[in-house]
Amino acid sequence: MIPLGHQHIVEFLNCDSKILNDKEALENLLIQAIDKSELHVEKIISHKFDPVGVTVLAVISESHIGIHSYPESKHLSLDVFTCTDPEKNFRFIEYFKEKLKPSSVRLVQIQRGDSIEINRDDWITSSSTYGFDVRYHVKENLYRKESKFQLIEIIENENFGRMLFLDRDLQISEYDAHLYNEQLVKPVESAGIAVKNAAIMGGGDGGILNSVLKLNPDYVTLIDIDEDVINLSKKYLNKICENAFEDPRVTIHIEDVIKFIDGEHKFDAIICDLTMHPGAFSGIEHKDFLNLLFTKIKNMMNENGILTLQCGGEYEKENTELIKRALTNHFVEVKFHTSFIPSFCENWVFAEARK
């Protein structure tokens, strides 16, 4: 799983002081707020200080929550940390606000994980594990919500237009979607085979699907685990996907690709545009996921079929090496190339292989 958490540090000023020194009342308030926020309590630990002050800690399925009261100052400090939809944090905070009736509330939101970022509504950071992060200005927030699988954000940027982020990783932008898609589709076009039946794994933004349809295949199958990404792309990223999802040649499967490729399917071309941590959805280590994926993809490919895939940024050398070893164990004519994608602010690695 990608390390990504949402921490809200909140200060409630001039609260109802009667409850602030009551350990049982604060425990009950905490449990009620957890329930109202659709979070899930695992354990409560509390302590009443002498002469005043109470600390209550909750271990929740989604991480943890802590409160400490200062009855003498009519003040309560709250720390909410979750690895789920941040809207639940806000519902929790609103419930506390309603019950404590403070004169004012001060709140800081911190993005936790590979990077630590104090959130501002007008910036979004796509973090990496190899020495630098990329920060994008948000001209307009178009959408931000946790799906069943990941945090989905769509913003408008002055230079790159509309941009799609999944768990804070940039996936595509209007400005250079054509450059990214071309790296995956051009090798298929140049393969010298008749592409009658193609498959796209991932690619829920519809950009690659739109490009593949221009090769005039008979059928295209798109497999993506998150239906929300597809529906939101239709709504907000229509310059990228156009009307690709409505094309009668297209069949969409909403499921984990590992489950899909267990079935009986045959394709002339397969384009793999999965996220950088696809095994997280299946609970499989990345190395094992790649070997399983490529084994099953090979079985699905027609003779002399072609596979193309994205491998991440050029500095993700360990990931590229894992992909290279796995590909060469299963395929022939394995090739890698890089292309600079302006919105990613770095060279991106792509691969192709034949059965």
Q: Which residues are catalytic?
A: 273
Per DSSP, the residues of 243-311 read TGGG-TTEEEEES-HHHHTTS---EEEEEEE--S-GGGGTT--HHHHHHHHHHHHHHHEEEEEEEEEEE
Per DSSP, the residues of 1-12 read ---EEEEEEEEE
Cα–Cα distance for residue pair 341/328, rounded to 1 Å: 26
When computed from its CA atoms, the radius of gyration of the chain, rounded to whole angstroms, is: 24
Residue in 111, 126, 141 with CA at minimum distance from that of residue 8: 111
Strands 267-273 and 301-313: parallel
Which tokens belong to 194? 């008749």
Which tokens belong to 211? 């490009």
Cα–Cα distance for residue pair 284/247, rounded to 1 Å: 34
Which tokens belong to 83? 């690895």
Question: Is the separation of the CB atoms in 173 and 159 below 8 Å?
Answer: no
Cα distances (angstroms) measured from residue 34 to each of 6, 29, 54, 149: 15, 9, 18, 21
Residue in 10, 8, 9, 5 with CA at minimum distance from that of residue 115: 5
Residue type, 24: E
